[in-house]
Structure formats: structure tokens, C-alpha cells
Copies of this chain bind each other. A is one copy, B any other.
């Protein structure tokens, strides 16, 4: 049987309370006593039973998630994952509140952060928009010792505790690499459609994509970025116009959302087979387009992983515990029609 606090108390010749004190390094133990206990811990090879500890503590973690509103399928999927986490909250001892704000709206986001602050949660997870007022709000939360994790889109320089999302520069590079190889020797320019240059993730993807195209596919012309605000209607209009003025277009990299518009424009123009399209995020629409062949490859960040990671990190930070960063790294998935996970998964 593995050793318990009782065993180490006996071995060290002290009481349970003392053992508990050194285990949770609380004050009020003489150095000699502490050493005795530590030695007992070492010789017996004691490892604390976290489940039992949590049971005894009865601690719970009030958390706030701030997510963008709107039709964006990825964000709705993200919200669904947060709600799934709420359903598990009994078992995970969390108490989660969701706050919804308009997309790409820095003042509204800053206001939501202040609202979150008033709830005095243990931690806040936020899909960030890069703006001074948002940075400022995050700093205020940190001053109140509220843990902050940026989700999906980061906010460097804000002092947030952690970023739960993918390396978007690498994502852009990956898209560039696939695009260059898939197009191969064919002629024609490549277009880039983004949502907004106000969010860090989109800027990073663009940077990565351009870097690879310059390094490895130097002859290829990259057209100026189109900003579609992650809005399918707008994206469709802009891409439609693009297709008209670029009869020789070889590829489109859609690094934001609104892919329904992209797909519609390509199919209306009858160019879905000749243009290599690479987009982000696996949603019901993008999935269908991948299967049909309109989209050639999809880069994805697993929203479920991101939410669960954010919660783990928030809890750890709230307890002042270190985070095993290797374990919290979110991978960039590449999906072709052949390695698509089953529906619903």
C-alpha cells in the first residue's frame, strides 16, 4: 500500500497537522521538524493523493469566459465546448460564467473584462482583441490577483498568465507550405483573405504565410490582403470581385472565418476545382467543402483542447501552482478529406 500522511507522521514522529504544514509549505514549523518530515517523505516515497486533498479542501473555482458573439461557427463551437465544461463543473469543482461581447470590439471587450472583475472570479479566459484599453483591463485583473488566460487570440504585453491557443505564425507557415506544394508548377497568383488585422492571430498567420512564400516559393505573386470581417456575406462579395479581376488565380488562403462566403464565391464562379483553397477551422460548412473538394486543406485548432487547457491553467494559476507548458501546447491540426475525424467528434 502506498504511504499516507499517517505513515509519514509516524515515521517522522510528529502529528498529522505538522505533516500537512510542511506538505503545503505553510509557516509555523521549525526548520528541524520540517527536515524530519521531509526526510520521512523522501524515504517513504510519499505522493499526495490529489483527489483526497481536493475533497477535503472543498475548494471550487469561479471562472469567467469572455467570448465573441456572432455567427462565426468556430466561436460557436468554442462556446459549446465551454458549456460542455460547465456540465462537468460538478466533477471539476468549477463554476463557469460566460460573457458575450461583439466581435472585434475593443471597448466592449474592455468593459466585459471589468464586469468579469467585479464578480471576483479565480480566473478569466478571454478571446483577446489587441488594443490598449484591453491590455489595460487585463492588467487591472492581474492586479486583483485574478488569473487571466488569453484564448485563441493572444494579447502580448498584457501580463496575461498564459495563452491557450496555437502558434499562429507556424499555422501561417504551414498554410504557405501546403499552398506552394499543392499548386506546384502551375501559373497564377495567390490571394489572402483575413478577418481583421485587429486580432493578433490573423496578423500572425499572415506573417507566417508570407514568410514561407517568400523563402520557398519566391516566384509566386501574393495579392494584397482582403479583410472580410469574418462575415460570410462580405467575404463572398469580396472574393467574388477578386475572382472576376483575377482570371488566373491559382490559390486562396483564408486565414480567418466566413468560409461559407469563400465557398459560395468559388462555386458560383465555377472555379472550385482550379483554385487551391486552404482555410482554417473545421466546422460543418468547411468540412462539407473539404469533402466536396472546394477546400483542399483545413488547418484546425481543437476548441475542446483549448477550453480544457485554459481551465487547467486557470485553476493551477489560481492555486499558485506551476504549469507544465509542454502539456498545454495546442497543436495545429491539418485535415485533408482523408483524415477527417468522424462527424460530431
A339 near B91 (CB under 8 angstroms)?
Answer: no
Knowing A170-B339, A212-B338, A338-B176, say if A91 contacts B50 (CB, 8 Å).
Answer: yes
Is A28 interfacial (CB 8 A cutoff)?
Answer: no
Please, how many angstroms separate the alpha-carbon atoms of A332 and B335 in the complex? 9
Contact A182 B185 (CB under 8 A): no
Which of A51-59, A189-197, A226-234 faces chain B? A51-59
Please tell me how many copies of the chain the complex holds. 2
Q: Contacts A55-B52, A185-B184 given: A338-B170 contact, CB under 8 Å?
A: yes
Give complex CA distance A219, B193 in Å.
35
Could you tell me the distance in whole angstroms from the C-beta of A336 to the nearest C-beta in chain B? 5
B51–A55 contact, CB under 8 A? yes
Interface band, chain A: 35 or more
Report Cα–Cα, A344/B329, bound state, in Å: 12
Complex Cα distance, B329 from A54, in Å, reads 30
Interface check A181, CB cutoff 8 A: yes
Residues B47 and A178 in contact, CB atoms below 8 Å apart: no
Contacts of A337 in B (CB 8 A): 177
Asked if A345 is at the interface (CB within 8 A of a chain B CB), the reply is yes
Min C-beta distance of A225 to chain B, whole Å: 20
User: Which residues on the B side are within 8 Å of A184 (C-beta)?
Assistant: 181, 184-185
User: Does A334 count as interface, using CB distance less than 8 angstroms?
Assistant: yes
Q: Which residues in B have their C-beta under 8 angstroms from that of A176? A: 338
User: Least Cβ distance of A163 to chain B in Å?
Assistant: 14
Q: Which of A305-345 contact B (CB under 8 A)?
A: 326, 329, 331-334, 336-339, 341-342, 344-345
Q: Per-position contact with B for A152-189: 1 when CB-CB < 8 Å, else 0?
A: 00000000000000000011011011100110110000
A90 at the interface (CB under 8 A from B): yes
Q: Is A49 an interface residue (CB 8 A)?
A: yes
Q: Does A245 contact B (CB under 8 A)?
A: no
Closest Cβ of chain B to A58, distance in Å, is 9
A176 to B208, CA, bound (A): 27
- Give bound CA distance, A170 to B47, whole Å: 42
Contact with B along A5-34 (1 / 0, CB 8 A): 000000000000000000000000000000
Known A-B contacts A326-B345, A331-B333; the reply to A177 vs B338 at CB < 8 A is: yes
Indicate if the CB atoms of B338 and A326 lie closer than 8 Å.
no
Alpha-carbon gap, A91 to B55, bound state (A): 14
Cα–Cα distance between A177 and B181 once the two chains are bound (Å): 13
**Complex A-B: 15 CB contacts under 8 Å:** A2-B90, A47-B91, A49-B91, A51-B54, A51-B91, A170-B338, A178-B336, A326-B342, A326-B344, A329-B341, A331-B341, A333-B333, A333-B334, A334-B334, A334-B336
Residue positions of A touching B, CB distance < 8 A: 2, 47, 49-52, 54-55, 90-91, 170-171, 173-174, 176-178, 181-182, 184-185, 208, 212, 296, 326, 329, 331-334, 336-339, 341-342, 344-345
Add 19 more A-B contacts to A170-B339, A181-B182 (CB < 8 A): A2-B90, A49-B55, A50-B91, A170-B338, A171-B339, A174-B339, A176-B338, A177-B336, A177-B338, A178-B336, A181-B181, A181-B184, A184-B185, A326-B344, A329-B341, A329-B345, A331-B341, A333-B333, A334-B334
